[in-house]
Protein backbone atom coordinates (compact mmCIF):
# COMPACT_ATOMS: atom_id res chain seq x y z
CA UNK A 1 0.00 0.00 0.00
CA UNK A 2 1.41 3.40 -0.99
CA UNK A 3 0.43 5.15 2.23
CA UNK A 4 2.56 2.74 4.24
CA UNK A 5 5.65 3.95 2.35
CA UNK A 6 4.72 7.57 3.14
CA UNK A 7 4.38 6.75 6.84
CA UNK A 8 7.81 5.10 6.78
CA UNK A 9 9.22 8.55 5.90
CA UNK A 10 7.83 9.91 9.22
CA UNK A 11 5.89 12.93 7.94
CA UNK A 12 4.39 15.45 10.40
CA UNK A 13 0.99 14.30 9.16
CA UNK A 14 -0.94 13.01 6.17
CA UNK A 15 -4.12 14.63 4.86
CA UNK A 16 -6.33 12.66 2.48
CA UNK A 17 -9.26 14.46 0.87
CA UNK A 18 -11.70 11.88 -0.51
CA UNK A 19 -14.73 12.41 -2.70
CA UNK A 20 -18.14 11.39 -1.28
CA UNK A 21 -18.16 8.05 -3.11
CA UNK A 22 -14.83 6.86 -1.71
CA UNK A 23 -14.81 8.57 1.69
CA UNK A 24 -16.11 5.64 3.78
CA UNK A 25 -13.86 3.10 2.06
CA UNK A 26 -10.79 5.34 2.44
CA UNK A 27 -11.48 6.08 6.10
CA UNK A 28 -11.92 2.36 6.82
CA UNK A 29 -8.66 1.47 5.08
CA UNK A 30 -6.74 4.14 6.98
CA UNK A 31 -8.19 3.03 10.32
CA UNK A 32 -6.60 -0.40 9.79
CA UNK A 33 -3.10 1.02 9.44
CA UNK A 34 -0.62 0.44 12.24
CA UNK A 35 1.26 3.75 12.26
CA UNK A 36 2.15 6.60 14.58
CA UNK A 37 1.75 9.16 11.78
CA UNK A 38 -1.33 11.40 12.26
CA UNK A 39 -3.67 10.81 9.33
CA UNK A 40 -6.74 12.92 8.56
CA UNK A 41 -9.35 11.74 6.06
CA UNK A 42 -11.52 14.65 4.96
CA UNK A 43 -14.69 14.49 2.90
CA UNK A 44 -14.97 16.82 -0.09
CA UNK A 45 -18.39 18.10 -1.19
CA UNK A 46 -17.85 16.60 -4.65
CA UNK A 47 -15.30 14.81 -6.79
CA UNK A 48 -13.10 17.62 -8.12
CA UNK A 49 -9.33 17.14 -7.79
CA UNK A 50 -8.37 20.80 -7.64
CA UNK A 51 -10.97 21.65 -5.02
CA UNK A 52 -9.97 18.59 -3.01
CA UNK A 53 -6.34 19.71 -3.08
CA UNK A 54 -7.33 23.18 -1.87
CA UNK A 55 -9.10 21.63 1.11
CA UNK A 56 -5.88 19.84 1.97
CA UNK A 57 -3.80 23.01 1.53
CA UNK A 58 -6.03 24.87 3.98
CA UNK A 59 -5.72 22.14 6.61
CA UNK A 60 -1.93 21.75 6.38
CA UNK A 61 0.08 23.33 9.20
CA UNK A 62 3.66 22.68 8.06
CA UNK A 63 6.13 25.00 6.32
CA UNK A 64 6.34 22.60 3.36
CA UNK A 65 3.47 20.72 1.69
CA UNK A 66 4.12 17.58 -0.35
CA UNK A 67 1.50 16.59 -2.93
CA UNK A 68 1.47 12.99 -4.10
CA UNK A 69 -0.79 10.64 -6.03
CA UNK A 70 -2.43 7.80 -4.13
CA UNK A 71 -0.56 5.14 -6.14
CA UNK A 72 2.93 6.60 -5.66
CA UNK A 73 5.36 4.72 -3.44
CA UNK A 74 8.37 6.31 -1.74
CA UNK A 75 11.72 4.98 -0.71
CA UNK A 76 12.53 5.74 2.98
CA UNK A 77 14.62 8.88 2.23
CA UNK A 78 12.28 10.65 -0.22
CA UNK A 79 10.58 13.05 2.18
CA UNK A 80 13.76 14.20 3.89
CA UNK A 81 15.46 14.78 0.52
CA UNK A 82 12.54 16.82 -0.85
CA UNK A 83 11.92 18.98 2.21
CA UNK A 84 15.52 19.88 3.12
CA UNK A 85 16.20 22.23 0.14
CA UNK A 86 12.94 24.12 0.72
CA UNK A 87 13.69 24.63 4.41
CA UNK A 88 17.24 25.77 3.65
CA UNK A 89 16.13 28.24 0.97
CA UNK A 90 12.72 29.91 1.48
CA UNK A 91 13.02 31.53 -1.97
CA UNK A 92 12.87 28.07 -3.61
CA UNK A 93 9.31 27.29 -4.66
CA UNK A 94 9.21 23.59 -5.53
CA UNK A 95 11.33 20.45 -5.40
CA UNK A 96 10.35 17.27 -7.24
CA UNK A 97 12.07 13.91 -7.82
CA UNK A 98 12.71 11.52 -10.65
CA UNK A 99 10.04 8.91 -11.26
CA UNK A 100 10.37 5.17 -11.88
CA UNK A 101 7.55 3.06 -13.31
CA UNK A 102 7.10 -0.55 -12.20
CA UNK A 103 4.84 -3.13 -13.92
CA UNK A 104 1.62 -4.20 -12.24
CA UNK A 105 2.39 -7.84 -13.05
CA UNK A 106 5.57 -9.70 -13.90
CA UNK A 107 6.15 -7.69 -17.05
CA UNK A 108 4.80 -4.59 -18.77
CA UNK A 109 1.70 -4.80 -20.95
CA UNK A 110 1.51 -2.81 -24.19
CA UNK A 111 -0.69 -0.24 -22.41
CA UNK A 112 1.85 0.20 -19.62
CA UNK A 113 4.65 0.55 -22.17
CA UNK A 114 2.78 3.39 -23.88
CA UNK A 115 2.51 5.19 -20.56
CA UNK A 116 6.15 4.43 -19.75
CA UNK A 117 7.23 5.88 -23.10
CA UNK A 118 5.37 9.07 -22.25
CA UNK A 119 6.92 9.40 -18.78
CA UNK A 120 10.43 8.61 -20.03
CA UNK A 121 9.99 11.39 -22.58
CA UNK A 122 8.90 13.76 -19.81
CA UNK A 123 12.00 12.82 -17.82
CA UNK A 124 14.24 13.68 -20.77
CA UNK A 125 12.42 17.02 -21.12
CA UNK A 126 12.90 17.78 -17.41
CA UNK A 127 16.65 17.22 -17.46
CA UNK A 128 17.18 18.93 -20.82
CA UNK A 129 15.22 21.99 -19.76
CA UNK A 130 17.15 22.25 -16.50
CA UNK A 131 20.42 22.23 -18.43
CA UNK A 132 19.28 24.74 -21.04
CA UNK A 133 17.59 27.49 -19.03
CA UNK A 134 16.99 26.20 -15.49
CA UNK A 135 13.24 25.74 -15.97
CA UNK A 136 10.86 22.85 -16.52
CA UNK A 137 7.62 22.51 -18.44
CA UNK A 138 5.76 20.68 -15.68
CA UNK A 139 6.35 19.35 -12.17
CA UNK A 140 5.01 15.82 -12.38
CA UNK A 141 2.03 15.25 -10.11
CA UNK A 142 3.19 11.92 -8.66
CA UNK A 143 5.17 13.68 -5.93
CA UNK A 144 6.30 17.30 -5.51
CA UNK A 145 7.08 19.51 -2.50
CA UNK A 146 6.09 23.19 -2.28
CA UNK A 147 6.47 26.10 0.10
CA UNK A 148 3.22 26.19 2.07
CA UNK A 149 3.04 29.96 1.69
CA UNK A 150 2.47 29.47 -2.04
CA UNK A 151 -0.25 26.85 -1.83
CA UNK A 152 -2.07 28.50 1.09
CA UNK A 153 -2.18 31.92 -0.60
CA UNK A 154 -5.90 32.76 -1.20
CA UNK A 155 -5.05 34.31 -4.57
CA UNK A 156 -3.37 31.10 -5.69
CA UNK A 157 -6.14 28.84 -4.40
CA UNK A 158 -8.84 30.85 -6.15
CA UNK A 159 -6.96 30.80 -9.46
CA UNK A 160 -6.12 27.11 -9.06
CA UNK A 161 -9.71 26.03 -8.37
CA UNK A 162 -11.29 28.33 -10.97
CA UNK A 163 -9.05 28.07 -14.03
CA UNK A 164 -11.20 27.93 -17.15
CA UNK A 165 -10.80 26.95 -20.78
CA UNK A 166 -13.41 28.04 -23.29
CA UNK A 167 -15.78 28.89 -20.44
CA UNK A 168 -15.46 25.57 -18.58
CA UNK A 169 -13.77 25.15 -15.19
CA UNK A 170 -10.80 22.78 -15.45
CA UNK A 171 -10.24 19.79 -13.20
CA UNK A 172 -7.23 18.03 -14.74
CA UNK A 173 -3.89 19.65 -15.54
CA UNK A 174 -3.29 20.71 -11.93
CA UNK A 175 0.44 19.90 -12.08
CA UNK A 176 0.92 22.08 -15.15
CA UNK A 177 -0.98 24.95 -13.55
CA UNK A 178 1.27 24.72 -10.48
CA UNK A 179 4.42 24.81 -12.60
CA UNK A 180 3.25 27.82 -14.62
CA UNK A 181 2.05 29.68 -11.52
CA UNK A 182 5.52 29.37 -9.97
CA UNK A 183 7.18 30.44 -13.22
CA UNK A 184 4.86 33.42 -13.66
CA UNK A 185 5.51 34.52 -10.06
CA UNK A 186 9.30 34.03 -10.26
CA UNK A 187 9.56 31.05 -7.91
CA UNK A 188 12.50 28.80 -8.89
CA UNK A 189 12.18 25.01 -8.84
CA UNK A 190 14.61 22.15 -8.36
CA UNK A 191 14.68 18.62 -9.80
CA UNK A 192 16.36 16.00 -7.61
CA UNK A 193 17.67 13.04 -9.59
CA UNK A 194 19.56 11.21 -6.82
CA UNK A 195 18.59 7.63 -5.93
CA UNK A 196 17.71 8.74 -2.38
CA UNK A 197 14.82 10.74 -3.83
CA UNK A 198 13.34 8.23 -6.26
CA UNK A 199 9.60 7.62 -6.28
CA UNK A 200 7.82 4.67 -7.88
CA UNK A 201 4.46 4.46 -9.59
CA UNK A 202 2.43 2.11 -11.77
CA UNK A 203 0.30 2.49 -14.89
CA UNK A 204 -3.05 0.95 -15.61
CA UNK A 205 -2.37 -2.33 -17.38
CA UNK A 206 -5.42 -2.18 -19.67
CA UNK A 207 -6.63 -0.13 -22.64
CA UNK A 208 -8.24 2.32 -20.22
CA UNK A 209 -4.82 3.85 -19.68
CA UNK A 210 -5.22 5.36 -23.15
CA UNK A 211 -7.83 7.68 -21.65
CA UNK A 212 -5.18 8.99 -19.24
CA UNK A 213 -2.71 9.50 -22.07
CA UNK A 214 -5.39 11.40 -23.98
CA UNK A 215 -5.97 13.68 -20.97
CA UNK A 216 -2.23 14.32 -20.63
CA UNK A 217 -1.92 15.24 -24.32
CA UNK A 218 -4.97 17.49 -24.17
CA UNK A 219 -3.58 19.24 -21.09
CA UNK A 220 -0.22 19.73 -22.83
CA UNK A 221 -1.74 21.49 -25.83
CA UNK A 222 -4.07 23.58 -23.70
CA UNK A 223 -1.28 24.70 -21.38
CA UNK A 224 1.11 25.47 -24.27
CA UNK A 225 -1.48 27.71 -25.90
CA UNK A 226 -2.26 29.45 -22.61
CA UNK A 227 1.42 29.99 -21.78
CA UNK A 228 2.59 31.15 -25.19
CA UNK A 229 -0.40 33.18 -26.36
CA UNK A 230 -2.40 34.39 -23.36
CA UNK A 231 -0.09 34.57 -20.33
CA UNK A 232 3.10 35.37 -22.28
CA UNK A 233 5.23 35.58 -19.13
CA UNK A 234 8.00 33.48 -20.66
CA UNK A 235 8.44 36.02 -23.46
CA UNK A 236 9.09 38.73 -20.89
Q: Where residue 221 falls among pLDDT bands split at 50, 70, 90? A: confident
Domain ranges of the chain: 2-235
Q: Where residue 173 falls among pLDDT bands split at 50, 70, 90? A: confident
100 vs 224, higher pLDDT: 100
Residue 8 has pLDDT above 80, yes or no: yes
For every residue of the chain, DSSP letters joined together read: -HHHHHHTT--S-EEEEE-TTTHHHHHHHHHT---SS-EEEEE-SS--HHHHHHHHHHH--SSEEEEE-TT-EE-TTHHHHHHHHHHH-TT--EEEE-EEE--SSSS--HHHHHHHHHHHHHHHHHHHHHHHTS--S---TTEEEEEHHHHT-HHHHHHHHT-EETTEE--S-HHHHHHHHHHHTT--EEEE-SGGG-EEE---SSTTHHHHHHHHHHHHHHHHHIIIIII-GGG-
What is the rounded distance in angstroms from the CA atom of residue 156 to the CA atom of residue 162?
10
2-235 adopts what CATH topology?
Spore Coat Polysaccharide Biosynthesis Protein SpsA; Chain A (3.90.550)
Residue 206 has pLDDT above 90, yes or no: no
- Angle of CA points 95, 152, 174, to nearest 5°: 60
Residues 56-111 pLDDT 10s: 999 999 999 999 988 899 999 999 999 999 999 999 999 988 888 777 778 888 88
Q: Which of 127-136, 141-150, 162-171, 175-184 has the lowest mean pLDDT?
A: 127-136
Residue 228's nearest CA partner among 157, 137, 143, 159 is 137
Q: What is the pLDDT of residue 217?
A: 74
Q: What is the pLDDT of residue 123?
A: 67
Residue 120 has pLDDT above 80, yes or no: no
Q: Which residues pair with residue 39 across a beta bridge? A: 14
Q: What is the pLDDT of residue 190?
A: 86
18 vs 232, higher pLDDT: 18
What is the rounded distance in angstroms from the CA atom of residue 147 to the CA atom of residue 186?
13
Q: What is the pLDDT of residue 175?
A: 86
Q: What is the pLDDT of residue 135?
A: 65
Residue 146 has pLDDT above 90, yes or no: yes
* pLDDT (mean) for 193-221: 75
Residue 117 has pLDDT above 90, yes or no: no
- Percentage with pLDDT > 70 across the chain: 86
Contact between residue 20 and residue 47 where contact means Cβ atoms under 8 Å apart: yes
What integer best gives the mean pLDDT of the chain? 85
140 vs 48, higher pLDDT: 48
Q: What is the pLDDT of residue 115?
A: 75
Residue 234 has pLDDT above 80, yes or no: no
The structure's pTM equals 0.86
Q: Where residue 51 falls among pLDDT bands split at 50, 70, 90? A: very high
Amino acid sequence: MAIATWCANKPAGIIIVADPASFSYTKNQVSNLNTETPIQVLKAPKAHKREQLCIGFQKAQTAVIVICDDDTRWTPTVLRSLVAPLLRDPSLGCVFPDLRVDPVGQKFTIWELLGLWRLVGDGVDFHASRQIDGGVFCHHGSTAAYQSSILKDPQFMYAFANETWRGRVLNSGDDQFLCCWLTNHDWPTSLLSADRCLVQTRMRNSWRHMLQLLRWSRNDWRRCLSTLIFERHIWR
